[in-house]
Amino acid sequence: MNSGIDLQASFIESLNQLGIPSGAAKALWIPFPSFLMIIGATVGVLVVVWLERKISAAAQQRIGPEYAGPLGVLQPVADGIKLVFKEDIIPAKADPWLFTLGPVLVVLPVFVSYLIVPFGQNLVITDLDVGIFFWIALSSIAPIGLLMAGYASNNKYSLLGGLRAAAQSISYEIPLALSVLAIVMMSNSLSTIDIVEQQSGYGILGWNIWRQPVGFFIFWIAALAECERLPFDLPEAEEEIVAGYQTEYAGMKFALFYLGSYVNLVLSALVFAILYLGGWEFPVPLDKLAGWLGVSEDSSWLQVITASLGITMTVLKAYFLVFIAVLMRWTVPRVRIDQLLDLGWKFLLPISLVNLLLTAALKLAFPMAFGG
């Protein structure tokens, strides 16, 4: 079943009906997805910041933000405005070029990674054949920015934070990539669209979470470590190294680190939903549901409903995972740096290798169930 409307075709057709030539309509389409991606990611960050404040307040039996807008929903906007207008200070002995480039290298790859996130079969900015590889490659750039920021600050605490960030990223990127490789092996594709379609047809029973329960846990633990969420926020552990790599930062540069952390959390939750929770798929197969109701799959209104449900399901699954991540921040204590590295190298890495080999064996033994 075609999962929803073709956004590009609908956009160009609508402009053609207004008298705009096809060439001009296609030219207008080129910046539109990128603009939509940036707006969507930024709004997602505002929602997550508000959720974090409210969930943490509920966990600690507090009220949380209330006065900046209804239920405090404008509090993240107020925080953003404050950071934009704060003075941008560069320490006297810092390297100004590297000091400025560090936050940019942290944020830019995360935003670009949204290009491969699908909200429907036709609701994706670009369907790359190597989409998952593209995401993993981009995610490996951010630690360079953190290390650069820590080194350029000319502060021992910042340097330690940058080194910790690099060590943590390397430790957890390998188990994360191996858990993703097991999914790729079952799907026979690196495309995010193909991975979701491989889980379709059986509703919730076809989702990869049932076939990859071990990879599911490895990916989520590694994703939390990559996002530097508690209990893995060692690069900026306040009790040990003040604020780590962002100790010397203020104003908009500090805001970029803050933004990058939350954008990465939402991105990781979206990728997790695509890999393990069926992406835009409904728990009940919509094509079978339409057949039972006697509705034609080619109906235009059904395509609109399917697209709307696809976006809703992807976002709901992602924000459920964000809720779990926020709740963990206020319930699980921070680990030590040696415990963090031991978990990555001595525990997650061997288990992810065994999981990959087991997936390969199951793929050969049960090709129908494991994508042979």
Confidence band of 291 (pLDDT split at 50, 70, 90): low
Please say whether the beta carbons of 50 and 65 come within 8 A: yes
Q: How many helical (H) and strand (E) elements, i.e. helices and strands, does the chain have?
A: 17, 0
What's the rounded mean pLDDT across residues 232-244? 74
pTM > 0.85: yes
Residue 242 has pLDDT above 80, yes or no: no
Q: What amino acid occupies position 251?
A: G
| Whether pLDDT at 247 is above 90 | no
Which tokens sit at 26?
A: 């296609």
Look at residue 80 in the predicted model and tell me its pLDDT: 86
Mean pLDDT across 125-130: 83
* Residue 121 pLDDT > 80: no
Compute the CA torsion angle 7, 8, 11, 17 (nearest 10 deg). Answer: -120
Question: Confidence class of residue 372 from pLDDT cuts 50, 70 and 90?
Answer: low
Helix pair angle (131-139, 96-113), 10° resolution: 160
Q: For helices 75-85 and 251-276, what crossing angle results, to 10°?
A: 140
Whether the per-residue pLDDT at 1 is higher than 60: the answer is: no
Q: Is the dihedral of CA 13, 18, 19, 23 positive or negative?
A: negative
3-class DSSP state of 247: coil
Cα distance between residue 321 and residue 266, in whole Å: 9
pLDDT tier at 161, thresholds 50, 70, 90: confident
H-type alpha helices, 188-294? 192-198, 208-211, 213-226, 238-241, 251-276, 286-293
Q: Look at the alpha carbons of 216, 218, 221, 224 in this order and tell me if their dihedral is positive or negative.
A: negative
